[in-house]
């Protein structure tokens, strides 16, 4: 999906792009997902990229049975979103960051149905809109289909905006047929697996090591679920595949081959849906991205928490944590590294929370919130009722207390000689209105994110850091 946008940069450099993408020349399908006045400046150009499990083309026409057989699938499936990636391009920056969201991430869609898997958002939005339109007296099936499809896309975009705090500027969607066609158009991409894999459900049958895949094999590579440890492994597959696509499109072999370029443009135009703003100025967008080389696109996974037994975990998120993660991607690599050092230092600070508010269970929920920010959980208990909340810290550790204060909405801090070095004491008074006042269900057992995997462990058991995935090189994955 990312390559579908970056490839426009390649086409514009060759001059071929102007002939194919100039206003009025193309036939790219559009959907007004963004709307007028919804996007607000936030220091970056933000693009939501969607991989749709749809069995239709970009114009909503059902795929023929022979095409479905070639794709190794059937007409069953609907508009489930197999991949959701938010690309952040800092204003004036020379790099981009792509955040992928596991499809099974539980989110509240605001439909009064409780938590729903992110992959089902588009379908739920369509169903809700159909019910609304029918109640309003609309019976024409074509109108119901068109308006409900748009409503589903808008609900997905709005949900991603809500959990990331990002104002999304553009939307791009590719379906199964498009993925198949574009990989064939460029002659496949190189990937690498740590072990042999065989999954009859997706058709994934690959040998260990580096190999070139395209078409139906490419679909199987990114869609395989059975045989992987969890949904996060599937997301890693998608990331390395996209990085390989970027690398292939930016290669000389694609740049200098008119036949490949023609196939590429045709595949994009018949299978990719863009918002009207992007579709009307594709070359302008390409010019904006001219400073971004393949290796300057980094791929991350949104911070998530796995709750439950291995193999059947719920994928949950902490919205403030995701918002902070998305905001940090606009920092320079140096600033990001400095912040990461500060985050790692939190693991050395033990935080104990005392409930002085009289609200049952508040201390435990707030401690979950704090530990989710990377601090060591020191314990929670009840204490004598207080009107005012306060955080006590040991001499010289005001900076750590300030970080906890910020995480809890600005609770006042105060030095206290009785507090041991390396620890903080949080007293929640009757005035406390910060995170944790809502009753979050479930315990967070494993914390995973794209910068560092797993919750902080003792120094002797610290996990080996995984390299950040970029469009430079062919990393091996499960």
Burial letters for 53-92: b for 16+ Cβ neighbours within 10 Å, e otherwise? bbbbbbeeeebeeeebeebbbeeeeebbbbbbbbbbbbee
Beta-strand runs (E) in 256-411: 272-274, 297-301, 304-307, 314-316, 350-355, 376-382, 390-393
What's the burial of 210, exposed, middle or buried (CB within 10 Å: 0-12/13-18/19+)?
Answer: exposed
Residue-level pLDDT at 23: 47
Q: How confident is the model at residue 441 (pLDDT cuts 50, 70, 90)?
A: very low
Q: Which of 293-302, 379-388, 467-476 has the highest mean pLDDT?
A: 379-388
Backbone angles phi, psi at 184, to 5 degrees: -70, -35
Averaged pLDDT for residues 410-421: 94
Is residue 156 one of the residues assigned to a domain? yes
E strand or H helix that includes residue 82: strand 81-90
- Whose tokens are 């198949």? That residue is 180
Number of domains in the chain: 2
Q: What's the token pair of residue 370?
A: 């704090």
Backbone angles phi, psi at 46, to 5 degrees: -115, 130
CATH number for the domain that contains residue 385: 3.30.70.2390
- How many DSSP H helices and E strands does the chain contain? 16, 23
CA distance 163 to 317: 9
Whether residue 317 is found in the same domain as residue 355: no
Whether residue 293 is found in the same domain as residue 418: no
Flag whether pLDDT at 3 surpasses 50. no
Averaged pLDDT for residues 271-281: 79
- Whose tokens are 């443009």? That residue is 265
Domain of 150, in residue numbers: 2-322+473-477
Is residue 200 one of the residues assigned to a domain? yes
Q: What is the pTM of this model?
A: 0.66
Q: What's the token pair of residue 90?
A: 């800092």
Whether residue 307 is found in the same domain as residue 353: no
Whether residue 184 is found in the same domain as residue 66: yes
| Cα–chain center distance at 135 | 34
CATH number for the domain that contains residue 240: 3.40.630.190
Flag whether pLDDT at 442 surpasses 80. no
Flag whether pLDDT at 159 surpasses 80. yes
Q: How confident is the model at residue 52 (pLDDT cuts 50, 70, 90)?
A: confident
Flag whether pLDDT at 130 surpasses 80. yes
Whether residue 299 is found in the same domain as residue 423: no
Could you report the per-residue pLDDT of 317-344, keeping only the tens digit for each?
989 889 988 998 888 777 777 777 777 7
Flag whether pLDDT at 393 surpasses 90. yes
| Nearest residue to 395 (alpha-carbon basis) of 368, 372, 422, 376 | 422
Is residue 267 one of the residues assigned to a domain? yes
Is residue 205 one of the residues assigned to a domain? yes
Q: Are strands 106-108 and 304-307 parallel, antiparallel or unpaired?
A: unpaired
Q: How confident is the model at residue 55 (pLDDT cuts 50, 70, 90)?
A: low
């Amino acid at each position: 999906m990312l390559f579908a946008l970056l490839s426009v940069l390649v086409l514009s450099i060759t001059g071929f792009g102007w002939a194919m993408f100039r206003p009025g020349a193309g036939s790219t399908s559009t959907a007004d997902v963004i709307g007028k006045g919804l996007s607000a400046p936030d220091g970056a150009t933000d693009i939501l990229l969607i991989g749709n499990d749809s069995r239709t083309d970009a114009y909503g026409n059902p795929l023929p049975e022979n095409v479905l057989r070639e794709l190794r699938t059937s007409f069953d499936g609907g508009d489930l979103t197999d991949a959701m990636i938010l690309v952040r391009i800092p204003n004036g920056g020379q790099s981009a960051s792509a955040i992928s969201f596991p499809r099974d991430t539980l989110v509240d869609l605001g439909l009064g149905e409780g938590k729903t898997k992110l992959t089902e958002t588009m379908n739920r939005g369509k169903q809700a809109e159909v019910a609304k339109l029918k109640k309003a007296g609309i019976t024409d099936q074509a109108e119901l289909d068109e308006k409900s499809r748009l409503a589903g896309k808008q609900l997905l975009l709005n949900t991603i905006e809500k959990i990331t705090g990002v104002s999304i500027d553009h939307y791009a969607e590719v379906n199964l047929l498009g993925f198949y066609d574009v990989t064939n158009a460029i002659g496949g991409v190189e990937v690498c697996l740590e072990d042999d894999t065989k999954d009859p459900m997706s058709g994934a049958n690959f040998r260990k090591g580096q190999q070139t895949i395209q078409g139906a094999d490419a679909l199987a590579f990114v869609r395989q679920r059975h045989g992987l440890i969890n949904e996060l492994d599937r997301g890693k597959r998608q990331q390395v595949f996209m990085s390989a696509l970027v690398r292939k499109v930016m290669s000389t072999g694609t740049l200098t081959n008119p036949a490949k370029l023609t196939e590429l443009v045709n595949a994009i135009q018949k299978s990719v849906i863009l918002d009207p703003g992007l579709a009307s100025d594709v070359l302008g967008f390409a010019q904006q991205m001219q400073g971004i080389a393949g290796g300057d696109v980094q791929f991350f996974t949104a911070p998530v928490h796995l709750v439950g037994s291995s193999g059947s975990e719920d994928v949950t998120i902490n919205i403030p944590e995701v918002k902070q993660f998305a905001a940090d991607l606009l920092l320079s690599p140096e600033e990001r590294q400095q912040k990461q050092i500060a985050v790692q230092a939190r693991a050395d600070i033990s935080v104990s929370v005392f409930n002085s508010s009289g609200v049952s269970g508040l201390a435990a929920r707030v401690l979950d919130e704090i530990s989710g920010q990377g601090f060591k959980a020191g314990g929670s208990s009840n204490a004598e009722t207080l009107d005012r909340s306060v955080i006590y810290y040991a001499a010289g550790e005001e900076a750590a207390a300030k970080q906890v204060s910020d995480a809890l909405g600005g609770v006042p801090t105060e030095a206290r000689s009785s507090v041991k070095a390396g620890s903080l004491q949080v007293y929640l008074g009757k005035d406390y209105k910060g995170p944790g006042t809502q009753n979050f269900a479930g315990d967070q057992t494993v914390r995973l994110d794209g910068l560092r995997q797993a919750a902080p462990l003792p120094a002797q058991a610290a996990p080996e850091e995984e390299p950040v995935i970029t469009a430079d090189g062919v990393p091996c994955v499960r």
